[in-house]
């Protein structure tokens, strides 16, 4: 049985990829092995407040709260060494992040490991979404349920 529409290939697939990367719906951030930002889309600008020109070339510390940095880099280095992460298989990780104006936000993300032509880790892309409102609602609900 043939699919109801033909699969995308070639130029159509390239256009789809470019449209997704430019999208403002979700933040897409790429960083190399050294943890420096190499790609920052419109969604990242909207979510974090930094323009691409402000973010590209900077360390991911730009958006990682200081208290979470050691843990982040431990995990990041492990993924770079092994190429493996459960967050690359669709599981999401919820973490605090920093906005340009200094406020903390809550984000959920998955990662996409990026390999070089020899199969070694070159970096990774993260697809991030703001879940601050949901996080705050859950905190309020927990307080309410505990009677505080």
pLDDT digits (tens, 9 = 90+) for 47-84: 999 999 999 999 999 999 999 999 999 999 999 999 88
Whether the per-residue pLDDT at 148 is higher than 90: the answer is no
Which tokens sit at 22? 């430019």
Whether the per-residue pLDDT at 105 is higher than 90: the answer is yes
Contacts of 59 (CB under 8 A, 6+ apart): 35, 36, 37
Residue 55 phi/psi, 5-degree rounding, is -95, -40
- Do residues 19 and 41 lie in contact, with contact meaning Cβ atoms separated by under 8 Å? no
Q: Is residue 2 part of a domain?
A: no
Which CATH number covers residue 67? 3.30.450.20
Look over the chain and give the mean of its residue pLDDT values, rounded to a whole number: 89
Whether the per-residue pLDDT at 6 is higher than 80: the answer is no
In the chain, which ranges are continuous DSSP H helix?
Answer: 10-22, 42-48, 52-55, 69-82, 132-145
Q: How far apart are CA 76 and CA 58, in angstroms?
A: 16
Whole-number pLDDT of residue 89 = 74
Mean pLDDT of 35-42: 97
Whole-number pLDDT of residue 13 = 85
Quote the pTM value: 0.83
Q: Is residue 54 part of a domain?
A: yes
Q: Is residue 7 part of a domain?
A: no
Q: In terms of residues, how long is the chain?
A: 148
Question: Considering its fold, how many domains does the chain have in total?
Answer: 1
Whether the per-residue pLDDT at 29 is higher than 80: the answer is yes
* Enclosing domain of residue 54: 26-145
Mean pLDDT of 128-132: 92
């Amino acid at each position: 049985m043939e699919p109801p529409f033909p699969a995308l290939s070639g130029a159509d697939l390239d256009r789809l990829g470019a449209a997704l990367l430019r999208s403002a719906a979700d933040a897409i951030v790429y960083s190399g092995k050294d943890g420096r930002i190499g790609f920052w889309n419109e969604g990242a600008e909207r979510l974090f407040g930094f323009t691409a020109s402000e973010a590209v070339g900077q360390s991911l510390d730009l958006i990682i709260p200081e208290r979470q940095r050691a843990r982040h880099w431990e995990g990041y280095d492990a993924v770079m060494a092994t190429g493996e992460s459960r967050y690359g298989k669709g599981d999401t990780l919820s973490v605090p992040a920093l906005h340009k104006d200094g406020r903390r936000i809550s984000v959920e993300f998955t990662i996409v490991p990026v390999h070089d032509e020899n199969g070694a880790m070159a970096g990774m892309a993260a697809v991030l979404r703001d879940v601050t409102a949901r996080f705050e609602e859950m905190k309020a609900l927990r307080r309410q349920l505990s009677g505080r």
